[in-house]
């Protein structure tokens, strides 16, 4: 049987695309493999968001060139595909930089993979169109993805933050229709999925065609998804503060399946930097928004992304970020050093922050975020909560799951609990996860 190796380098949407590409090849008779040496097709689903992520691809392609040569010497063919956001951004340039590559395919045209692979036997091919036909209409049905699954509901971004490549690599904001999403969600639920995370580059800007005509908001969509039998939990990511509408805030108060955890990137706590980033809101507007969200759902856990060392960022600007972090209390967060990206307005600026200053700020920020995260974990000890059991745990006899607040918990319980909601008491906080005890010995799959 032919084998395909697919690797994702990027965000959740990129991981979702990678899974669907594996399904496309599955339909063509390729079995998935985790061992690149035995793969007849290798797909690197790339990310362009920061320089490091993009450069990783070229070093990987260097290694693949050697592997391809070795396999060729044994009479075996290897097709090498570069997909994702680097493919979209760099297109044909990849062919000249990486001679081993056979196919370059962008995030909107990977449903054409079988055809592109066939054509690549004649000539190297590049497909970075934003085609008029919707890739989702051409993809095979998804295979079972376990207990918790991602579902892309919206793609692209019209925000044009001055540092970000996404509007260029993923194109304009597009929402899938409610019926198409519900069909996919129902199939996932029938396959055993209990938790759905609705994903999009700007998911809370969702405005898709509704079942009964008109336009559905993300809150409308989530109410419809919550009604699907089997779906116990809903999450969504990633959101922009300016698209947090009143109905979405209310959904956090009213929709029991919507989990009390929100990833709402703020990037910086300085108004001057936020303006230069083209975020179009102030730090205080973000604080007020968090107040409203906590008004709707007092136990809401928050997460964010931060960029340190944006061009022109002073010590005072950075202190603004540290103040915001201290005030809000994020349960978790991602933080990055600013990376100038080709084609973005911020990359043109000449007031770059020196690398050592960026590093020092990143360390200080991460230390503060880590302290808060640990405190959050410690506070959880003693609490009674419910976990969705997702998989076998680290040790025999254990299972692993997540609390509504996304905390990872290990519990001594049989594998038969996987896929169920299990009431637990948190008894201990480890470095990366919590340990819990089941509250009822009979708590089987709900």
> Binding to ligand SAH (CB under 6 A): which residues in 298-317?
305, 307
Contact range with ligand SAH by CB under 6 A, out of 75-83, 115-123, 253-261, 337-345: 337-345
Contacts for 445 with CB less than 8 Å, ≥ 6 apart: 416, 417, 418, 419, 420
The CA distance from 97 to 113, in Å, is 22
- Supply the DSSP symbol for 444: -
Does 248 participate in binding ligand F3S (rule CB under 6 A)?
A: no
- Residue 54 interface partner, choices ligand SF4, ligand SAH, ligand F3S, none, CB cut-off 5-8 Å depending on type: none
- Residue 160 interface partner, choices ligand SF4, ligand SAH, ligand F3S, none, CB cut-off 5-8 Å depending on type: ligand SF4
Contact status, residue 43 vs residue 10, Cβ threshold 8 Å: no
> Binding to ligand F3S (CB under 6 A): which residues in 180-239?
201
> Binding to ligand SAH (CB under 6 A): which residues in 240-259?
240
Tokens of 145: 């993805």
- Select 161 or 222, whichever has its Cβ closest to ligand SF4: 161
Confirm whether residue 136 is marked as ligand binding: no
Confirm whether residue 85 is marked as ligand binding: yes
User: Which H or E element spans position 434?
Assistant: strand 434-438
User: Least distance from C-beta 66 to ligand SAH, angstroms?
Assistant: 31
The CA distance from 397 to 149, in Å, is 24
User: Least distance from C-beta 214 to ligand F3S, angstroms?
Assistant: 29
User: Which H or E element spans position 233?
Assistant: strand 233-237
- How many angstroms separate the Cα of 215 from the Cα of each of 177, 186, 208, 212, 221? 9, 21, 6, 9, 10
- Residue 103 interface partner, choices ligand SF4, ligand SAH, ligand F3S, none, CB cut-off 5-8 Å depending on type: none
- Select 84 or 419, whichever has its Cβ closest to ligand F3S: 84
- Supply the DSSP symbol for 258: B
Contact range with ligand F3S by CB under 6 A, out of 8-16, 277-285, 301-309, 364-372: 8-16
Q: Which residues does residue 302 pair with via DSSP β-bridges, in sequence order?
A: 262
Confirm whether residue 290 is marked as ligand binding: no
Tokens of 131: 């085609």
- Residue 167 interface partner, choices ligand SF4, ligand SAH, ligand F3S, none, CB cut-off 5-8 Å depending on type: ligand SF4
Binder among 101, 113, 166, 333 for ligand SAH (CB under 6 A): 166
Does 170 participate in binding ligand F3S (rule CB under 6 A)?
A: yes
Contact range with ligand F3S by CB under 6 A, out of 63-71, 164-172, 236-244, 367-375: 164-172
Helices (H), 74-165: 84-90, 93-97, 113-119
Contact range with ligand F3S by CB under 6 A, out of 44-52, 188-196, 287-295, 368-376: 44-52
Does 45 participate in binding ligand SAH (rule CB under 6 A)?
A: no
Helices (H), 381-421: none
Instruction: Pick the closest to residue 46 from 19, 22, 15 (CA basis).
Output: 15
Tokens of 408: 């990872």
The CA distance from 392 to 416, in Å, is 10
Does 160 participate in binding ligand SF4 (rule CB under 6 A)?
A: yes
The CA distance from 97 to 92, in Å, is 9
The CA distance from 262 to 239, in Å, is 8
Q: Kindly list the residues in this chain that would bind ligand F3S in the complex (CB under 6 A).
A: 10-11, 13-14, 47-49, 84-85, 165-166, 169-170, 201
Residues within the interface to ligand SAH (CB under 6 A): 49-50, 163-164, 166, 201-202, 238, 240, 265, 267, 305, 307, 336, 338-339, 341
Q: Which residues are annotated as a binding site?
A: 11, 47, 85, 157, 161, 164
């Amino acid at each position: 049987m032919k084998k395909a190796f697919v690797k994702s380098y990027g965000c959740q949407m990129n991981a979702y695309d990678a899974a669907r590409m594996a399904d496309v090849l599955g339909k063509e008779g390729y079995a998935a493999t985790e061992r690149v040496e035995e793969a007849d097709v290798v797909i690197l689903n790339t990310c362009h968001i920061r320089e490091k992520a993009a450069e990783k691809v070229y070093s990987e392609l260097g290694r693949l060139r050697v592997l391809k040569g070795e396999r060729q010497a044994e009479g075996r063919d290897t097709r090498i595909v570069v997909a994702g956001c680097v493919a979209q951004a760099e297109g044909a340039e990849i062919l000249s930089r990486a001679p081993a590559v056979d196919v370059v395919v962008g995030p909107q045209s990977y449903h054409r993979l079988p055809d592109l692979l066939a054509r690549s036997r004649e000539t190297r091919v590049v497909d970075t169109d934003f085609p008029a036909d919707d890739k989702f209409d051409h993809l095979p049905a998804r295979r079972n993805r376990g207990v918790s699954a991602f579902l892309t509901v919206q793609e692209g971004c019209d925000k044009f933050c001055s540092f970000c490549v996404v509007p260029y690599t993923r194109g304009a904001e597009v929402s899938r229709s409610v019926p198409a999403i519900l069909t996919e969600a129902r199939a996932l639920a029938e396959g055993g999925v209990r938790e759905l995370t609705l994903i999009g580059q700007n998911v809370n800007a969702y405005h898709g065609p509704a079942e009964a005509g008109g336009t559905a908001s993300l809150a409308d969509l989530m109410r419809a998804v919550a009604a699907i039998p089997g779906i116990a939990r809903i999450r969504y990511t990633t959101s922009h503060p300016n698209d947090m509408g009143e109905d979405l805030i209310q959904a956090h108060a009213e929709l029991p399946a919507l989990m009390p955890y929100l990833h709402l990137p703020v990037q910086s706590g300085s108004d001057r930097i936020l303006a230069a980033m083209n975020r179009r809101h102030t730090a205080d507007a973000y604080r007020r928004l968090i107040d409203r969200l906590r008004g709707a759902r007092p136990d809401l856990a928050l997460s964010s992304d931060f960029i340190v060392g944006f061009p022109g960022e002073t010590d005072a600007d950075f202190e603004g970020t540290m103040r915001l972090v201290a005030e809000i209390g994020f349960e978790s967060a991602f933080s990055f050093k600013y990376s100038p990206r080709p084609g973005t307005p911020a990359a043109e600026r000449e007031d770059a922050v020196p690398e050592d200053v960026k590093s020092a700020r990143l360390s200080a920020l991460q230390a503060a975020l880590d302290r808060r995260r640990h405190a959050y974990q410690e506070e959880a000890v003693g609490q009674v909560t419910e976990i969705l059991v997702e998989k076998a745990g680290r040790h025999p006899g254990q299972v692993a799951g997540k609390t509504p607040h996304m905390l990872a918990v290990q519990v001594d319980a049989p594998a038969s609990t996987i896929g169920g909601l299990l009431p637990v008491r948190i008894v201990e906080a480890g470095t990366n996860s919590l340990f819990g005890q089941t509250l009822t010995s009979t708590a089987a799959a709900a």
